[in-house]
């Protein structure tokens, strides 16, 4: 991670479990209003590039690190309990993720409770590192996904695709307001909370998804993700998604994700100018 800029990054250790760390590039206390976050350590196609742009333009980039996996493993008593680190920013999301990924704990509510509390501390550690002295106005998440999506009839895997979001919206999904299908591969897309960002992306031919603000107060739509947390707190949120190689399938769409990062910075700097 950050192979070219490692000397310009720092490591913060999670006190409650030292094998979980945050790698930090930049300074959350500078004058910039943005913070980038990579929750899944195995989704790192353009992390070096984001680190480079942070050094050039300011702000902070935080990568959650443990063992190179998508999930984080919480060590609770004699259990190793998995949680999706992008489902840990609300209590509802934490419990749902822990129960989903650790069905063997169904008869052990105490361990589930302890894991939820550990995950809460981890989420606070992440948010404090992103915030510095003042919370950022914009949170930008870096994600990579698999080629297509499971059940697409094209041997796709995973669950992220602009085509899948279109299907979800058409079938009445309440966590979405709108979906724009642009000129890029179905797996290269933005997921945003700001209507202006969505409209700008749509007008320029990007794939984009607009989250419904109701997720901030509807328990049925609370999955504990950073996008839901951002909506609850009134932060602007931008998720930059691009395809990566998964299980030998697909490609790393590095060039496109670099373009998406550059475009995001243009939006951030335009916001600063205004």
**Total count of domains within the chain:** 1
58 falls within a domain: yes
1 falls within a domain: no
Query: In angstroms, rounded to a whole number, what is the distance separating the alpha carbons of residues 138 and 237?
Result: 6
CA nearest to 147, candidates 39, 68, 241, 46: 241
Parent domain of 34: 6-273
Instruction: Assign 158 a pLDDT band (cuts: 50, 70, 90).
Output: confident
Q: Which residues pair with 178 in a beta bridge?
A: 210
Average pLDDT for 170-177: 96
Cβ–Cβ under 8 Å, residues 116 and 98: yes
117 falls within a domain: yes
Has this prediction a pTM greater than 0.75? Answer: yes
70 falls within a domain: yes
Instruction: Assign 5 a pLDDT band (cuts: 50, 70, 90).
Output: very low
Cβ–Cβ under 8 Å, residues 64 and 20: yes
How many CB atoms lie under 10 A from the CB of residue 118? Answer: 23
22 falls within a domain: yes
CATH number of the structural domain spanning residue 108? 3.40.630
Q: What is the pLDDT of residue 271?
A: 67
**Per-residue pLDDT at 4 exceeds 80:** no
Token pair 């992306």 in the structure block, residue: 201
Q: In this predicted model, what pLDDT tens digit does every residue of 216-267 receive, in sequence order?
A: 999 999 999 999 999 999 999 999 999 999 988 889 999 999 999 999 999 9
């Amino acid at each position: 991670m950050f192979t070219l800029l490692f000397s310009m990054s720092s490591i913060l250790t999670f006190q409650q479990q030292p094998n979980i760390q945050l790698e930090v590039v930049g300074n959350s206390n500078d004058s910039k209003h943005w913070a980038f976050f990579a929750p899944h350590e195995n989704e790192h196609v353009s992390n070096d590039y984001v680190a480079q742009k942070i050094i050039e333009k300011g702000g902070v980039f935080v990568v959650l690190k443990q063992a190179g996996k998508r999930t984080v493993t919480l060590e609770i008593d004699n259990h190793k309990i998995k949680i999706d680190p992008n489902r840990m920013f609300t209590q509802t999301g934490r419990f749902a993720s822990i129960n989903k990924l650790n069905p063997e704990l169904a008869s052990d509510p105490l361990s589930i409770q302890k894991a939820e509390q550990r995950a809460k501390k981890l989420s606070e550690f992440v948010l404090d590192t992103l915030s510095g002295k003042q919370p950022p106005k914009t949170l930008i998440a870096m994600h990579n996904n698999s080629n297509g999506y499971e059940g697409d009839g094209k041997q796709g895997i995973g669950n992220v695709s602009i085509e899948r979001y279109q299907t979800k919206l058409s079938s009445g999904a309440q966590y979405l307001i709108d979906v724009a299908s642009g000129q890029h591969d179905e797996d290269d897309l933005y997921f945003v909370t700001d209507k202006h960002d969505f409209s700008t992306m749509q007008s320029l031919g990007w794939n984009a998804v607009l989250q419904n603000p109701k997720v901030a107060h509807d328990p049925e739509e609370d999955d504990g993700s950073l996008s839901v947390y951002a909506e609850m707190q009134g932060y602007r949120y931008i998720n930059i998604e691009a395809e990566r190689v998964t299980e030998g399938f697909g490609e790393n769409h590095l060039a496109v994700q670099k373009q998406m990062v550059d475009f995001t910075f243009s939006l951030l700097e335009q916001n600063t100018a205004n």
